[in-house]
Amino acid sequence: MSEQNAANHTKLVTPFHKVLLPLLLLIWIGSFVNLYQSMGDHIRLYSASLIVAMATVLIGIALAARVFALQAQDRAIRSEERFRYYVLSGGKILDSRLKLQQIVALRFASDGELVELAGKAADKGLSNKEIKAAIKNWKADHERL
């Protein structure tokens, strides 16, 4: 595995991003083609409409599952980074001006630069991309999906 950095830290989950989502998209498109072809036939129209509805629901479920997983990971990261900051800063609390995405970006900062970078991010309102670019000693996170 190559060393993780700001340029290559994003991760695609092959079964989800390269198999499931394209298949769901094909099913969804195919269901609309089937619906269009069923327009003149009232018997087929009902089942074609149900297939479109089911395909739409499946896409919604897949996307919701992904969003819920990311939200749970974000909450865990926020708690971990608040605790890490508390320990490294000698009992200080992480600045409340920091937004969740900034805190998520700070997880890549090494212990030696977290406190200073968190202060700079809060004072200057750095974006998550700017925070990642400012990190000198990248702390890899291979657990994030």
Q: Which domain holds residue 38?
A: 12-73
Instruction: Assess if residue 78 is contained within a domain.
Output: no
Domain-located, residue 66: yes
pTM of the model: 0.76
Q: Kindly report the CA angle at 130 between 8 and 90, in degrees rounded to 5?
A: 100
Residue 107 has pLDDT above 70, yes or no: yes
- For residue 63, being part of any structural domain is answered with yes
Residue-wise pLDDT for 21-75, tens only, equals: 999 999 999 999 999 999 988 889 999 999 999 999 999 999 999 999 999 999 9
Pair 74, 104: CB distance under 8 Å = yes
Mean pLDDT of the region 123-131:
93
* 138 within a domain of the structure (yes/no): no
User: CA–CA distance from 10 to each of 44, 62, 118 (Å)?
Assistant: 44, 20, 21
Closest by alpha carbon to 89, among 64, 125, 118, 67?
118
Q: Is residue 133 part of a domain?
A: no
The pLDDT of residue 6 is above 70: no
Give 53's contacts (C-beta < 8 A, 6+ positions apart): none
> Confidence band (pLDDT; 50, 70, 90) for 5?
low
126 lies in some domain:
no
Give the Cα separation of 88 and 98 in Å (integer). Answer: 17
145 has pLDDT over 70: no
In eight-state DSSP terms, residue 4 is: P
> Looking at this protein, which amino acid is placed at residue 11?
K
User: Once rounded to an integer, what is the mean pLDDT over residues 63-88?
Assistant: 94
Whether residue 141 is predicted with pLDDT greater than 80 in this model: the reply is no
Question: How many structural domains does the chain have?
Answer: 1
Q: Is residue 19 part of a domain?
A: yes
